[in-house]
Amino acid sequence: MRVVVLASGRGSNLEALIKAERRGELPIRIVGVVSDKRHARALDLARENDIPAIHLGARGFADRQSYDLALFGRIADLQPDMIVLAGFMRILDPVAFAPWLGRIINIHPSLLPLYPGLHTHRRALEAGDRKHGASVHFVTAELDGGPVIAQSVIDILGGDTEDTLASRLLEREHRLLVACVGLLASGRLAWQAGSVLLDGVVLTSPLRFEDLPPTHDKLA
């Protein structure tokens, strides 16, 4: 499966996908990394791994839709089967990504539908939550609102800060995203009319990936 990854920052989830691909754990080929930030480390990671790295800044475009139409035009040139948003910090225009509906996934650092948008660790702490986690979901017009494929859950510990919570969750994010991409690339997971199918059966709740070995697609 041909995969394009969109990222705005350091690219740690991208790095996890690259390593899993290179180890032969994923039946994918990452055919491009696209960023809205010229100096995103994700682009450096792509270049270091001989993956086409494309920067397209928003400056000079009349509005979000015109930028996103150009963005997805560049993505289409790479002929992906799937698009992965891995820390891409822009809200996408629904018209621009409509042709790709069901072929775009995103990883988000909260237990959706809790805390869409930014500052998820802070919001979980301020709410006094006992659990936190990450979600992989299909992208729709609603911000972080598409059907959730799978989640990984961690405990919030006494004394946790935004930084400690984010740090402890990050490894789970990596493993969760790799596992979901693996299931999608193998054909076990699919989108159908706004629902998530696993082996042809509609999921009634997100899958849970807990303590998942990096080299296996075991469901917990």
Residues in Cβ contact with 15 at an 8 Å cutoff, skipping those fewer than 6 apart: 45
| Catalytically active residues, by annotation | 108
Q: Are 32 and 8 within one domain?
A: yes
Rounded (10°) angle between helices 12-22 and 41-48: 20
Q: What is the CATH number of the domain that holds 8?
A: 3.40.50.170
Q: Are 73 and 130 within one domain?
A: no
Can you give the residue range of the structural domain that contains 172?
Answer: 111-134+149-220
pLDDT for position 212: 43
Q: Is residue 139 part of a domain?
A: no
Q: Are 74 and 122 within one domain?
A: no
Q: In the chain, how many domains are there?
A: 2
pLDDT for position 210: 65
Q: Is residue 75 part of a domain?
A: yes
Q: Is residue 128 part of a domain?
A: yes
The Cα–Cα gap between 15 and 153 comes to 22
Contact between 151 and 176 (Cβ < 8 Å): yes
Q: Are 187 and 130 within one domain?
A: yes
Q: Is residue 78 part of a domain?
A: yes
The Cα–Cα gap between 136 and 155 comes to 18
pLDDT for position 213: 38
Mean pLDDT of successive 10-residue stretches along the chain, which has 220 residues: 97 97 96 97 98 96 96 97 97 94 97 97 98 97 94 96 96 95 94 94 90 40
Task: Determine the distance from the C-alpha atom of residue 92 to the mean position of all C-alpha atoms in its chain, rounded to a whole number.
Answer: 14
pLDDT for position 209: 80
pLDDT for position 56: 97
pLDDT for position 159: 95
Amino acid identity of residue 96, one-letter, is A
Q: Are 122 and 202 within one domain?
A: yes
Q: Are 75 and 156 within one domain?
A: no
